[in-house]
Amino acid sequence: MFKEDPHFCCASGIRTASALLLAATLMGGLAYGQNPGTLLKGDEHLFPLGFYELPKSDEALAAMAEAGVNLVRCHNRQDLDRAHAVGLLGVVPIKLSQGVSEALRAQVEAVADHPALAVWEGPDEVVWNFTAYSGLHRKLGVHKTPGEWKRQTPEAVAYAEEQAGVIIPNMRAAAAFIRERDLQDRPLWINEALESDVYYVRQYLDFVDITGCDLYPVKGDKRNVARMGDATERWKAVGRGKPVYMVLQAFSWDELGDYYGETQTSYPSFAESRFMAYDVIAHGAAGILYWGSHYLKSDAFRQSLYALISELAALQPFLTAPGVPGVSVHLVEMPEDGGERGVACTARQRGEEWLLLLVNEDDTKHLGVVVNGLEDLDGQTLYALYGERALTVSSGEIVTRMMPQAVQVWCTSRAYEAPRDGRTFGE
């Protein structure tokens, strides 16, 4: 007996144009573009493809821009000047937790009018750092034994409450100062750890615009890349629907030093990096940034990331567009063939062109992947980008097969391919 398994209808964060306008109004009229969280560069809307790294050489910075990176981390006006010179935008970290200090005033006023500034960044993993951060025990001696926050000991709970009572009001005041000085009303983003505490994060939600988390799952023999979609969904829920930026892995854990106790070099393969990027997009992420590339010892891995960024950059017209309503995916297979997560999907349309993204989040193959809701494409051909397959839409659907943790990117035109060296890394 066959089953029709409704694993994951399209997780695209679909919003109508009126809903997008309402969201922009509620969030202070931010210059987000078509989807909340997108960047605005002149009249061009951009899905953030960023790096925390700002290369020391102008040549390396230009290579990032050439690959399709559009956002880099900048600390001062000089950094923003360098980014601007090669056409990049900047995200500037601000120490909100110290309140409206003289240092914060000086930093904000020095860069607020810079044309390359696109996003303000609050303190990284701020809630994690006063709740579950292992350094509270290992470095600071605040907690007597490891894991006190997870055990919810009275001491750990009291410490977190004390810290939040100072840090969050300081952040609120600093955020208000930025709003006052930034006449372009650029968005404020705070990145957290995957499991940062919901109670405290929601205490600062009303004065930030973008949330999200970092997750680096490739470590030694552990390569649970399918967690990325779950993480994106968690932060959509934590943030009550605010745009989510996901921070992905651009390093091997052994490169970070002895603190993490890793000795095995384990970079994500190109296929794994591609899976993680498309998985968070399929689940509605509003932007992607990469952390750890400043530790990189492998140029081959760097080039694999640049190959992926080039692929994503070629899809910018679709990534900044809202999801197409009514498109869904289900699996037709024997009961014993079912997986844990299923297939995530999102469909995007720009003008006459369509993009359909499918991500098999399971470690099992699915040989009956049916995508419905494509009646507007009946009789048209969808091409598998970076592959040879083509499918004709019939009766509002296509049927495809997917191997474990596979990604399929279908488009009405092959013009959106951007092949470059690096796509075979880790094979």
Tens of pLDDT along 124-149? 999 999 999 988 988 888 988 889 99
- Counting other chains too, the contacts that 151-158 makes at CB distance below 8 Å and 24 or more residues apart are 156/131
Position 17 confidence tier, pLDDT thresholds 50, 70, 90: very low
Nearest to 247, CA basis, from 203, 207, 210, 198: 210
CA distance 284 to 294: 27
Q: Are residues 334 and 383 in the same domain?
A: yes
306 belongs to a structural domain? yes
Q: Are residues 281 and 336 in the same domain?
A: no
User: For residue range 68-111, what is the model confidence (pLDDT) as tens digits?
Assistant: 999 999 999 999 999 999 999 999 999 999 999 999 999 999 99
Using the predicted structure, report yes or no on whether residue 16 has a pLDDT greater than 60. Answer: no
Q: Are residues 365 and 387 in the same domain?
A: yes
Q: Are residues 312 and 328 in the same domain?
A: no
Position 259 confidence tier, pLDDT thresholds 50, 70, 90: confident
Domain range enclosing 163: 17-319
Last residue of a domain, one of 285, 319, 353: 319
Q: What is the CATH number of the domain that holds 184?
A: 3.20.20.80
User: For residue range 48-69, what is the model confidence (pLDDT) as tens digits?
Assistant: 999 999 999 999 999 999 999 9
Using the predicted structure, report yes or no on whether residue 21 has a pLDDT greater than 80. Answer: no
Q: What is the average pLDDT across 255-284? A: 93
Q: In this predicted structure, what is the pLDDT of residue 333?
A: 85
Q: What is the average pLDDT across 207-221? A: 95
Q: Are residues 363 and 251 in the same domain?
A: no
Tokens representing residue 58 in the block: 């102008």
What's the mean per-residue pLDDT of the chain? 90
CB of 52 within 8 A of CB of 290? yes
Q: What is the average pLDDT across 256-278? A: 92
Place of tokens 């794994």: 272
Using the predicted structure, report yes or no on whether residue 18 has a pLDDT greater than 60. Answer: no
Using the predicted structure, report yes or no on whether residue 208 has a pLDDT greater than 80. Answer: yes
User: For residue range 368-413, what is the model confidence (pLDDT) as tens digits?
Assistant: 999 999 999 999 999 999 999 999 999 999 999 999 999 999 999 9
Position 29 confidence tier, pLDDT thresholds 50, 70, 90: very low
What percentage of the chain reaches a pLDDT higher than 90? Answer: 82
Q: Are residues 198 and 61 in the same domain?
A: yes
Q: Are residues 240 and 383 in the same domain?
A: no
Q: Are residues 241 and 153 in the same domain?
A: yes
Q: Are residues 305 and 392 in the same domain?
A: no
Say which amino acid occupies 64.
M
Using the predicted structure, report yes or no on whether residue 7 has a pLDDT greater than 80. Answer: no
424 belongs to a structural domain? no
Q: In this predicted structure, what is the pLDDT of residue 22?
A: 29
Q: Are residues 170 and 226 in the same domain?
A: yes
Tokens representing residue 249 in the block: 């892995």
Q: In this predicted structure, what is the pLDDT of residue 34?
A: 58
**Least trusted range by pLDDT, from 10-19, 28-37, 327-336:** 10-19
Q: Are residues 174 and 270 in the same domain?
A: yes
Q: Are residues 159 and 70 in the same domain?
A: yes
Last residue of a domain, one of 319, 348, 377: 319
